């Protein structure tokens, strides 16, 4: 890709930001963007970034547990997408390919990181839930549940975490998850089963210890 | 299916990840087992909680920052790549292949040469024990020990596989008959100057009967005196020993 006009095309792309849902609705528009970006169109690549950044950032945050690492991971993901976009097979699902890169980047980052507790959200952050809840009690319960799930997911091993996030949160099929993780469907099922069991046990253990009931 | 088997399948049943047949069996069991049914509901609820596991809402500035950094890194990496490409441009593919092929050929040859050189170094251990007298005119029978004998290459050589004996271990069986050889300028390295030195290359046959006689020349301390010893070839020459001082 040409880098001479990167700054100018970036500015142009920022100016002509399309609504995020537009390419999602129209797969052909996304395919066209990918083809243009692969051919060296910087503005098209900027559009791809704009329309996929939420997914990449969310997935990175779920895998890594904090915003700073998620930012770094997202940058690395888009850098790899830029590098390897020419190798992307247009017949395959772009988002599966994107998630595979994201999962690989997060795995690399987790390997580099020293073992530490993944802090998904603090208690204060957990309390900052959308104002759709009406009573304080409901707010508190919701925050507790969020914190509980956060903690439970944070305790999972990398592969189980990736499987459960892709299957239960991102909504991919077991086969698609297997494809993204470059594994077999049977292995993914085993990982998902183990992850669900661990999350449930964690929730039960915590609720029993605090005397709460579910 | 009993409860134990169903419990193992419940995590997958909650997410509808079981095969149709297994799912039917589990569903049939759940209708009749309240305990398993409660567990299944528990799993379903947990799954719903996980499904709502949403990240915090990141501001647009965060995303803009990410994109900006990506472009910056792309520009940096592209520039770095250009430098590598320019360096790589100096080496055309043909030249690179030629250099690689040459190295591939030269390196084994060089290795072979080194190995050969190593063996040649070991050949220094090979000593001419028996050397016939030259067939040319040499009436005096005395030869300069430093000069190689003519026609030596055509004669058979006896290889001594054993390492040379240490000079300081040499001893004479009969001191009265010992001939002490001394060559001031040709003493072996590391040995004291007063150490007797016998040149084994000076074994040679007397003229006229070179096939049957061995000849040993020993230079004494006095440069004018040289002891020449002849022995029949059939008999092994008596070991000549010298004792160091």
pLDDT per residue, tens digit, chain B (245 aa), is: 788 888 889 999 888 888 888 888 999 998 888 889 998 998 888 888 888 777 778 888 999 999 999 999 888 887 776 666 666 666 677 788 888 899 999 999 998 888 887 766 555 444 444 445 444 444 444 444 444 444 444 455 555 555 555 555 455 444 444 444 444 444 444 444 554 555 544 444 455 556 777 888 888 888 888 888 888 776 555 555 555 44
- Chain A hits for B69, CB-CB cut-off 8 Å, are 75
Inter-helix orientation angle B3-14/B20-32, to 10°: 120
Other CB atoms within a 10 A radius of the CB of residue A174 amount to 22
Q: Give domain limits for chain A.
A: 1-118, 131-214
- Chain A hits for B17, CB-CB cut-off 8 Å, are 167, 174, 189, 192-193
- As for the ipTM of the complex, it is 0.73
* Minimum CA–CA partner of A170 in chain B: B51
Tokens found for residue A2 = 């040409």
- Asked if B42 reaches chain A (Cβ–Cβ under 8 Å), the answer is yes
Question: What element of type H or E holds B228?
Answer: strand B226-232
- Helix residue spans in B15-154 (DSSP H): 20-32, 34-51, 60-90, 93-123
- C-beta atoms of A150 and B15 within 8 A: no
Q: How confident is the model at residue A78 (pLDDT cuts 50, 70, 90)?
A: very high
Alpha-carbon span B116 to B56, nearest angstrom: 73
- C-beta atoms of B74 and A79 within 8 A: yes
Cα distance between the two ends of chain B: 102
Q: What is the pLDDT of residue B177?
A: 46
- Asked if A50 reaches chain B (Cβ–Cβ under 8 Å), the answer is yes
* Residue whose C-alpha is closest to residue A125's, from B177, B21, B55, B101: B55
> In the CATH scheme, what is the code of domain A1-118?
1.10.1740.10
Alpha-carbon span B35 to B43, nearest angstrom: 13
Please tell me which of the candidates A67, A71, A79 has its beta carbon nearest to residue B73.
A79
* Residue whose C-alpha is closest to residue B205's, from B227, B229, B226, B185: B229
Taking only the tens place, the pLDDT of each residue in A154-198 is 888 888 999 999 998 888 899 999 989 989 999 999 999 999 999
Q: What is the pLDDT of residue A23?
A: 46
Question: What element of type H or E holds A207?
Answer: helix A185-210
Q: What is the pLDDT of residue B20?
A: 87
Mean residue pLDDT of chain A comes to: 78
Alpha-carbon span A22 to A43, nearest angstrom: 16
- Chain A hits for B42, CB-CB cut-off 8 Å, are 200, 204, 214
- Asked if B206 reaches chain A (Cβ–Cβ under 8 Å), the answer is no
Tokens found for residue B220 = 């004494």
- The listed CATH number (1.10.260.40, 1.10.3430.10, 1.10.10.10, 1.10.3720.10) that belongs to domain A131-214: 1.10.10.10
The b/e string for A61-87 (b: 16+ C-beta within 10 A; e otherwise) is bbbbbeeebbbbbbbbbbbebbeebee
Q: Which residues contact A187 (CB under 8 A, 6 or more apart)?
A: A178
Alpha-carbon span B75 to B85, nearest angstrom: 15
Alpha-carbon span A144 to A207, nearest angstrom: 10
Higher pLDDT, A76 or B204: A76
Q: How confident is the model at residue A98 (pLDDT cuts 50, 70, 90)?
A: very high
Interface size A-B, in CB pairs within 8 Å, comes to 114
Taking only the tens place, the pLDDT of each residue in A109-148 is 888 775 554 555 444 454 454 555 556 777 777 777 778 8
Helix (H, G, I), strand (E, B) or coil at B227: strand
Interface test with B, best of A14, A74, A123 (most B CBs within 10 A): A74
Q: Which residues contact A40 (CB under 8 A, 6 or more apart)?
A: A1, A2
- Chain B hits for A63, CB-CB cut-off 8 Å, are none
């Amino acid at each position: 890709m040409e880098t001479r006009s990167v700054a100018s095309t970036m500015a142009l792309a920022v100016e002509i930001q399309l609504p995020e849902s537009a390419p999602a609705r129209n797969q052909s528009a996304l395919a066209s963007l990918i083809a243009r970006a692969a051919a060296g169109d910087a503005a098209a690549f900027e559009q791809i970034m704009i329309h996929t950044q939420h997914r990449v950032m969310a997935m990175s945050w779920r895998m890594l547990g904090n915003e700073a690492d998620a930012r770094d991971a997202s940058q690395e993901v888009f850098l790899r997408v830029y590098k390897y976009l020419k190798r992307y097979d247009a017949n395959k699902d772009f988002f599966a390919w994107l998630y595979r890169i994201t999962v690989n980047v997060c795995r690399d980052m987790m390997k580099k990181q020293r073992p530490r507790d993944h802090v998904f959200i603090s208690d204060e952050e957990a309390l900052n839930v959308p104002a759709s809840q009406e009573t304080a009690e409901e707010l508190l319960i919701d925050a507790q549940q969020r914190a509980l799930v956060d903690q439970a997911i944070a305790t999972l091993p990398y592969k189980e975490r990736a499987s459960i996030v892709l299957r239960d949160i991102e909504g991919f099929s077991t086969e698609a998850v297997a494809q993204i993780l470059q594994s077999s469907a049977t292995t993914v099922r085993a990982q998902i089963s183990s992850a669900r069991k661990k999350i449930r046990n964690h929730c039960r253990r915590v609720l029993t210890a605090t005397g709460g009931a579910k | 299916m009993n409860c134990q088997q169903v419990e193992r399948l419940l995590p997958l049943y909650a997410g509808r990840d079981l095969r149709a047949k297994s799912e039917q069996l589990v569903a049939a069991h759940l209708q009749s087992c309240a305990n398993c049914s409660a567990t299944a509901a528990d799993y379903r609820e947990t799954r719903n909680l996980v499904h709502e596991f949403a990240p915090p809402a990141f501001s647009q500035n965060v995303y803009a920052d990410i994109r900006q950094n990506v472009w910056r890194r792309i520009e940096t990496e592209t520039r770095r790549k250009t430098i590598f490409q320019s360096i790589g441009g100096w080496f055309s593919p043909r030249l690179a292949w030629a250099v690689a092929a040459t190295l591939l050929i030269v390196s084994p040859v060089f290795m072979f040469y080194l190995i050969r050189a190593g063996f040649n170094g070991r050949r220094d251990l090979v000593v001419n024990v028996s050397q016939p007298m030259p067939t040319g005119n040499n009436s005096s029978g005395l030869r300069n020990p430093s000069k190689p004998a003519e026609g030596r290459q055509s004669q058979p050589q006896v290889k001594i596989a054993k390492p040379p004996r240490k000079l300081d271990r040499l001893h004479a069986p009969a001191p009265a008959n010992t001939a002490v050889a001394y060559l001031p300028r040709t003493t072996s390295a590391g040995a004291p100057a007063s150490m007797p030195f016998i040149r084994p290359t000076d074994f040679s046959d007397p003229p006229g009967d070179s096939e049957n006689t061995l000849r040993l020349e020993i230079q004494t301390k006095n440069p004018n005196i040289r002891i020449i010893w002849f022995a029949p070839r059939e008999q092994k020459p008596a070991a000549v020993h010298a004792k160091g001082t």
